[in-house]
């Protein structure tokens, strides 16, 4: 018996939630598990996309043509790259993220507003689990008898605290949505606000400056988006002060009372240093000037070994140096065009208290924060961040209000996209099946011969140079 569209959507949603919980909340989680989680979510998205056909368009013609041009340039760049298979893997990641975004857009359009509540419940659940883990780790640390405490050790589930910060950049804006909804009970709002304060405590304690920068930029943008944007900013500022108070009580008052010294305080991160980004930015710039048209090939920053990172921690520079300047310009134009269209809808509906409009506001804040953070961090590289970026973009696509009547989807274009998505996810599954059995061995060989820490890109050991 064939499943209905609603049943397929429910199966897809449950599968994604389970994968997210394991990939983010499992104590043994890290970059490689999250990459496998991303590939699995991509597979689920493709299967769901194959079973559901959009009645109306998801993007307009200029966007579709721009995406086709980006993928085409990526394929040409990959064939000319030093390691074509790895370059094609990066293109496949881009396509699979598109498939995830499309699947979420289709899911929201089919399920309607109840899916919005499900999304926020998932965000609250994930943040609650991570907050409990953090508080539990803190309790163990304060009762262990040790006289030195490193707050970074309280963070779990991510191989680097910056990756944790990227996840918070996506979820901090969304976690404020229940506080904006009228007629929500005070007790429920109080519980959510408490969770938001703890979530800010973790963001402050983690010391990821990219998260602070992204959230600051999102606050500035939302401040001009009408009263609800300013309400959102007010709640976030209140939660920041709450988080600062909790941080002071936990790491100053309590730590001082117990005679515990901090190995690294949040105030130590209040600097303007580039944290080693200067040399990798120069590497990206030299790559860009040497091959401006098609770049060195997707993922090929990692093909030129350095002692710092396998990506330049700067989204525009990374795309231009690897995919070429024309592709980077096309990506920037599409991002600006989509962002401006969403900004226009938000301004038009600035006084609306409908839940869909409030969710659009929070999603836009998450997108702005993530894009700003990508200028100084690897948001477009890390697997969990790629999934959340696709989720936010897909949900915004589903909620978008078209100025003109929405046209029907073209069967030929939809068929081509489905074929490309299947091929992309198939390649990613092949690479995972090839590498996962030997991944620990490969990591140890790299550490023995090249350095004391891993440089994540596709895998945690992301340097593809040989």
**For the residues of 206-229, what is the DSSP string, one character each?**
HT-HHHHHHHHHHHHHHHTS-HHH
Q: Is the pLDDT of residue 359 over 50?
A: yes
Region at 59 (left for phi over 0; alpha for psi -120 to 50; beta for the rest) = beta
CB–CB of 179/124 below 8 Å? no
Note the pLDDT tens digit of each residue in 209-230.
Answer: 999 999 999 999 999 999 999 9
Asked whether residue 366 is domain-assigned, the answer is: yes
Asked whether residue 444 is domain-assigned, the answer is: yes
Q: Is the pLDDT of residue 336 over 60?
A: yes
Asked whether residue 343 is domain-assigned, the answer is: yes
Tokens matching residue 39: 């590939």
Taking the C-alpha atoms of residue 269 and residue 61, their distance in angstroms, rounded to an integer, is: 45
Handedness of CA 388, 394, 398, 400 (dihedral sign): positive
Asked whether residue 349 is domain-assigned, the answer is: yes
Asked whether residue 109 is domain-assigned, the answer is: yes
Q: Is the pLDDT of residue 273 over 70?
A: yes
Q: Is the pLDDT of residue 406 over 70?
A: no
Q: Under 8 Å CB-to-CB from 70, ≥6 apart: which residues?
A: 94, 323, 327, 330, 331, 334
Task: Give the mean pLDDT of the chain.
Answer: 92
Q: How many domains does the chain have?
A: 1
What are the C-alpha distances in Å from 375 to residues 71, 240, 314? 22, 23, 4
Note the pLDDT tens digit of each residue in 65-109.
Answer: 999 999 999 999 999 999 999 999 999 999 999 999 999 999 999
Note the pLDDT tens digit of each residue in 29-54.
Answer: 899 999 999 999 999 999 999 988 77
Asked whether residue 155 is domain-assigned, the answer is: yes
Q: What is the mean pLDDT of residues 301-318?
A: 93
Asked whether residue 233 is domain-assigned, the answer is: yes
407 falls in which pLDDT band (50, 70, 90)? low
262 three-class SS: strand
Asked whether residue 335 is domain-assigned, the answer is: yes
Domain carrying residue 332: 5-268+278-450
Please report the pLDDT score of residue 1 as a whole number.
Answer: 44
Q: Is the pLDDT of residue 166 over 80?
A: yes
Q: Is the pLDDT of residue 396 over 90?
A: yes
Q: What length does the chain have?
A: 466
Taking the C-alpha atoms of residue 87 and residue 458, their distance in angstroms, rounded to an integer, is: 11
Please report the pLDDT score of residue 408 as a whole number.
Answer: 61
For the whole model, what pTM was predicted? 0.95
């Amino acid at each position: 018996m064939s499943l209905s569209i609603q049943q397929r959507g429910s199966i897809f949603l449950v599968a994604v939630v389970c994968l997210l919980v394991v990939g983010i909340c499992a104590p043994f989680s890290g970059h490689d598990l999250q990459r496998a989680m991303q590939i699995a979510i991509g597979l689920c998205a493709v299967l769901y996309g194959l079973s559901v056909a959009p009645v109306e368009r998801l993007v307009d013609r200029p966007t579709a043509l721009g995406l086709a041009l980006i993928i085409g340039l990526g394929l040409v760049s990959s064939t000319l790259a030093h390691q074509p298979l790895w370059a094609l893997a990066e293109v496949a990641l881009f396509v699979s993220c598109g498939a995830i975004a499309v699947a979420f857009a289709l899911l929201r359009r089919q399920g309607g507003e109840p899916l919005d509540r499900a999304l926020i419940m998932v965000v609250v659940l994930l943040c609650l689990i991570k907050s409990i883990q953090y508080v539990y780790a803190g309790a163990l640390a304060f009762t262990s008898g040790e006289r030195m405490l490193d707050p970074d050790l309280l963070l779990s589930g991510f191989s680097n605290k910056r990756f944790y910060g990227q996840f918070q950049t996506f979820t901090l804006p969304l976690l404020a949505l229940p506080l904006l909804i009228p007629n929500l009970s005070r007790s429920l709002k109080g519980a959510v606000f408490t969770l938001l304060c703890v979530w800010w405590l973790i963001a402050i304690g983690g010391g990821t400056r990219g998260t602070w920068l992204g959230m600051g930029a999102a606050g500035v943008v939302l401040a001009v988006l009408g009263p609800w944007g300013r309400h959102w900013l007010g709640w976030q500022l209140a939660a920041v002060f709450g988080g600062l108070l909790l941080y002071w009580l936990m790491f100053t008052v309590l730590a001082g009372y117990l005679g515990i010294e901090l190995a690294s305080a949040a105030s130590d991160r209040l600097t303007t240093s580039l944290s080693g980004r200067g040399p990798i930015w120069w590497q990206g710039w030299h790559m860009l000037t040497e091959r401006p048209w098609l770049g060195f090939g997707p993922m090929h920053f990692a093909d030129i070994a350095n002692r710092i990172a396998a990506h330049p921690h700067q989204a525009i520079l990374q795309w231009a140096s690897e995919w070429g300047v024309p592709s980077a310009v096309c990506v920037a134009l599409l991002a600006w065009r989509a962002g401006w269209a969403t900004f226009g809808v938000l301004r038009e509906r600035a006084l609306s208290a409908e839940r869909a409009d409030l969710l659009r506001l929070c999603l836009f804040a998450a997108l702005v924060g993530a894009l700003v953070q990508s200028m100084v961090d690897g948001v477009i590289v890390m697997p969990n961040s790629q999934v959340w970026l696709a989720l936010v973009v897909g949900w915004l696509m589903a909620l978008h209000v078209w100025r003109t009547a929405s046209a029907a989807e073209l069967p030929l274009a939809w068929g081509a996209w489905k074929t490309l998505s299947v091929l992309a996810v198939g390649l990613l599954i092949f690479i995972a099946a090839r590498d996962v059995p030997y991944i620990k061995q490969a990591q140890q060989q790299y550490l023995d011969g090249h350095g004391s820490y891993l440089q994540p890109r596709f895998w945690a050991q992301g340097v593809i140079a040989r």
